[in-house]
Amino acid sequence: MRRNLSRRERLKAKADLQRVFNRAASIETKGFKLLYIENALQWSRIAVCPVRGFRRAVDRNRQKRACREAYRQLKEQVRPGLDLAFVLFPGDYGFHDRYRQLQTVLQRAGLSR
């Protein structure tokens, strides 16, 4: 399995995002929330959505990059066929914090293999 994050693994269509935010199950931990729902595909798709509380674009973009990289490293452990939305809340979180948050919510939601 390729470890990179391809275009088809990004959740971008407005209808798909609305479906995730309106009908998905959710689980959260401090600074992080995961919304997930089944899709009809053989692979999972993700969207990273920071809330408005980030003061600067630099901080918001850094957190998005950290979350995408954490998912990229963990995606082999996530079962396929899911649409995932990661909602990021502001705070003093580095890459390793986001990695642990993502790992925790995936295990608690039962989405890990």
Q: Is residue 70 within 8 Å of 99, Cβ to Cβ?
A: yes
- 48 close to 70: Cβ distance less than 8 angstroms: no
Rounded Cα distance, 104 and 100, in Å: 6
Greater pLDDT, 113 or 58:
58
Match domain 7-108 to its CATH number in 3.40.1190.20, 3.30.70.100, 3.30.870.10, 3.30.230.10: 3.30.230.10
d(CA 83, CA 35): 8
Q: Structural domain boundaries of the chain?
A: 7-108
pTM for the full predicted model: 0.90
pLDDT digits (tens, 9 = 90+) for 36-82: 999 999 999 999 999 999 999 999 999 999 999 999 999 999 999 99
26 in Cβ contact with 33 (< 8 Å):
yes
In this prediction, residue 81 carries a pLDDT of 94
